[in-house]
Chains A and B, each alone.
Chain A
Amino acid sequence: MIEYRSIGKTFADGTEAVGDFSLVLPSRTTTVFVGSSGCGKTTLLRMVNRMVEPTSGQVLIDDVDVATRNKVELRRSIGYVMQHAGLLPHRKVIDNVATVLRLNGVDRKEARDRSYAVLETVGLDSSLATKYPSQLSGGQQQRVGVARGLVSDPNILLMDEPFGAVDPIVREELQTELLRLQHDLDKTIVFVTHDIDEAFLLGDQVVILKQGGVVAQVGSPAEILASPADDFVRSFVGLDKGHRKLRVEERDGVRIVVDATGKATGVLDPS
């Protein structure tokens, strides 16, 4: 369990990224921070592994304040996946994946074996293992990034817009893959995105943020759609634009679903 207690963050130049933020992220679930740029979502994520230190308040992991833990050891115990994968360009794919294991003192042989296994888990062919990151496509690099985050089997996985830089088709593939992985692995995932559809797809708990880390609404996707807290949320999730408001019409005896503009989007399953 991750808990934010009255977190505030003002950067050295005086900008307030987060005012006063409190939230509990239950274990083995995915929490998505979603909002436009400047809402403090990445800042909040990076406080979990102390890449950013709060100016006030505490972040706790299983009731232990992260500020009391050694930074480097803390980071090695948490998986981190970022935009553009953040792989080391001078190391082969397999060594990139093995990084955290090697830093944790696992011997070379075992680190390699475990890295090959996790490459398979994320759906990468082992022939890619001896290539350098620059020789892979964006989607493949991103999978390597996920593999690196998972290799030491951490309880917590931090994902900072991990699929933001890949094309829509690959993004969808990676999202599906992540859902499958999460189903099998049951990690506590903190996921940051600016894409509300991605947030609703992946999140058990979705946190919609306004500027300055102000919470607009917290809830499951269904809860947020059923009762949006205010106009900001209604517009952010697209309830004002019509494509989320669906109704059923009957055509030739089949019930089809159309949105507010009358565009057909699907067929109602008779079962």
Chain B
Amino acid sequence: MTWFQNNTDKVLDLLLSHLWLSALPILIGFVIAVPIGWYANRHPRLRGVVLSVAGIFYTIPSLAFFLILPSIIGTGFLDPINVVIALTGYAVAIMVRSAADAFESVSPAVLDAATATGFASTGRAFTVELPLAGPVLLAGLRVVAVSTVSLVSVGALIGVNNLGSLFTEGYRTDNDAEILIGVIGIVLLALVFDGLLVLVGRVLMPWSFAQKQAGRT
């Protein structure tokens, strides 16, 4: 505890960088994965290929990926952008499957009804398909968020500072308190992200909540 009181500024600094190192990949990954998932769901033959590629991509060890990436895209070795890009890749890999499942979960009868009432295809995609895929998309995004927050810490091994740096430094200096603070910080951050996502879901999809309640009675 004393260690934390003496190093509050440092921990907060690391927390802040951890925050945006996770937030960016989660957001960018989501934005990239949703259209891919949508497209894959519409083309059954492509779906298998896309999901397999995403699955294989996710098996690449993150540390190796962080190390190879600079030579592929020509960024500096210690550049945080490497971590952001690599984690975006993982986020897309997980999210594409969720997105494809999310669009598959939308009732074909509702889509047919929407077309019959006169929705054009673009309007239908954005105002009917996307919101109805929302609950499953959100579930996937929650997994992505937690996994990303935890993966960011590996970035500390290649010198990109974040709460994971407390692990490497604590291990080197044999400081258990520092490691513990790192673990607590990461868990708290993951919980905050998760809580925020649930809250956003409640606000954006009140209908989904109403549906669950109706189902219970």
Closest residue of chain A to B211 (Cβ to Cβ) is A134
Given known A86-B112, A90-B132, contact A75–B117 (CB-CB < 8 A) = yes
Closest residue of chain A to B113 (Cβ to Cβ) is A86
* Size category, A interface: 20 to 34
Residues of B within 8 A of A179 (CB): none
Is B72 in the interface zone, CB < 8 Å from A?
A: no
Binds B, one of A76-84, A183-191, A226-234: A76-84
Task: Report whether B215 and A82 are in contact in the complex, using a CB–CB cutoff of 8 Å.
Answer: no
Q: Which of A76, A103, A132 contacts B210 (CB 8 A)?
A: A132
* Size category, B interface: 20 to 34
8 Å CB contacts to A: which residues of B189-211?
205-208, 210-211
Closest residue of chain B to A70 (Cβ to Cβ) is B120
**Distance in angstroms between the alpha carbons of A52 and B217 in the assembled complex:** 39
8 Å CB contacts to B: which residues of A95-117?
99-100, 103-104
Residues of A within 8 A of B206 (CB): 132
Q: How far is the CB of A82 from chain B (nearest CB, A)?
A: 6
Task: Report whether B118 and A88 are in contact in the complex, using a CB–CB cutoff of 8 Å.
Answer: no
Is A31 in the interface zone, CB < 8 Å from B?
A: no
**Distance in angstroms between the alpha carbons of A132 and B119 in the assembled complex:** 20
Is A89 in the interface zone, CB < 8 Å from B?
A: yes
Residues of B within 8 A of A92 (CB): 207
Q: How far is the CB of A117 from chain B (nearest CB, A)?
A: 19
Residues of B within 8 A of A73 (CB): 118
Given known A132-B207, A135-B210, contact A82–B113 (CB-CB < 8 A) = yes
Task: Report whether B132 and A87 are in contact in the complex, using a CB–CB cutoff of 8 Å.
Answer: no
Task: Report whether A91 and B207 are in contact in the complex, using a CB–CB cutoff of 8 Å.
Answer: yes
Q: How far is the CB of A62 from chain B (nearest CB, A)?
A: 19
Task: Report whether B118 and A86 are in contact in the complex, using a CB–CB cutoff of 8 Å.
Answer: no
Is B175 in the interface zone, CB < 8 Å from A?
A: no
Is A49 in the interface zone, CB < 8 Å from B?
A: yes
Task: Report whether A89 and B211 are in contact in the complex, using a CB–CB cutoff of 8 Å.
Answer: yes
The interface bits of chain A over 37-81 (1 if a CB of B lies within 8 angstroms of the residue's CB, else 0) are 000000000100101000000000000000000001101100010
* 9 more CB-based (< 8 A) A-B contacts, given A51-B115, A82-B113: A49-B116, A72-B118, A86-B109, A86-B113, A87-B113, A92-B207, A134-B210, A134-B215, A135-B210
Please name the 3 residue pairs, one residue from A and one from B, whose CB atoms are nearest each other, closest first: A86-B113, A76-B118, A75-B118
**Interface set of B (CB-CB < 8 Å, partner A):** 109-110, 112-120, 123, 128, 131-132, 134, 205-208, 210-211, 213-215
**Interface set of A (CB-CB < 8 Å, partner B):** 46, 49, 51, 72-73, 75-76, 80, 82, 84, 86-92, 99-100, 103-104, 131-132, 134-135, 148
Q: List 28 A-B contacts (CB under 8 A).
A: A46-B116, A51-B112, A72-B120, A73-B118, A75-B116, A76-B118, A82-B116, A86-B113, A88-B113, A88-B114, A89-B211, A90-B128, A90-B131, A90-B132, A90-B134, A90-B205, A91-B207, A100-B118, A103-B117, A103-B119, A104-B118, A132-B206, A132-B211, A132-B214, A134-B211, A134-B214, A134-B215, A135-B214
